[in-house]
């Protein structure tokens, strides 16, 4: 990889995790079940690649609530990779340790931190994480940080695909990053 690749390419990541309407069932923990990744070429202002990695949970099941929210089923995620292999794939195929990355808020970064720590999996990302929600909020002079769908409305951009689906949300967040870049608000100082 050329050093310029790390300056112009950005990984936009969104994860979906097992979830419940209340507390997790006894013994269960929230685990990543889908990693959506869109590669943004900041030099051409284009989304250049779109990826989806399904992850098989080890300590929880996909609830009916989770399926209604994300569309993901237990049968579908059962075909996914173990979490450690998914992290290895991020590093090997998506240069996740070298490229800066962004997510909408800190949830995705913190979920990776927690799950990597709990499973003793090497953290797949480098130190350059950008909270796109915080950048958007400041750029638009908002008092409250909007959700991704609300931010798309503010930016007059369409919601493409299904909300709460990692692959689609990463694609939409990448559109918001490009919106910010078009306003000279990305990358943030």
Q: Does residue 49 have a pLDDT over 70?
A: yes
pLDDT tens across 52-103, in order?
Answer: 999 999 999 999 999 999 999 999 999 999 999 999 999 999 999 999 999 9
- Give residue 188's pLDDT: 80
Task: Return mean pLDDT, the chain.
Answer: 95
CATH class of 3-182: alpha beta
Which DSSP state fits 153?
A: H
Q: Does residue 117 have a pLDDT over 70?
A: yes
pLDDT tens across 122-139, in order?
Answer: 999 999 999 999 999 999
């Amino acid at each position: 990889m050329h050093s310029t690749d790390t300056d112009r390419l950005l990984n936009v990541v969104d994860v979906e995790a097992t979830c419940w309407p209340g507390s997790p069932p006894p013994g269960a923990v929230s685990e990543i079940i889908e990693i959506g990744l869109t590669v943004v070429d900041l030099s051409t202002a284009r989304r250049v690649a779109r990826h989806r990695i399904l992850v098989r949970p080890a300590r929880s099941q996909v609830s009916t609530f989770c399926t209604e929210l994300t569309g993901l089923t237990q049968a579908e995620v059962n075909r996914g990779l173990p979490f450690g292999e998914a992290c290895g794939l991020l590093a090997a195929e998506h240069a996740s340790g070298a490229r800066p990355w962004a997510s909408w808020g800190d949830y995705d970064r913190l979920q990776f931190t927690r799950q990597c720590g709990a499973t003793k999996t090497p953290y797949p990302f480098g130190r350059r994480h950008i909270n796109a929600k915080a950048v958007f909020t400041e750029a638009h002079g908002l008092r409250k940080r909007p959700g991704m769908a609300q931010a798309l409305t503010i930016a007059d951009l369409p919601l493409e695909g299904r909300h709460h689906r990692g692959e689609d949300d990463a694609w939409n967040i990448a559109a918001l990053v490009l919106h910010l870049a078009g306003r000279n608000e990305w990358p943030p100082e």
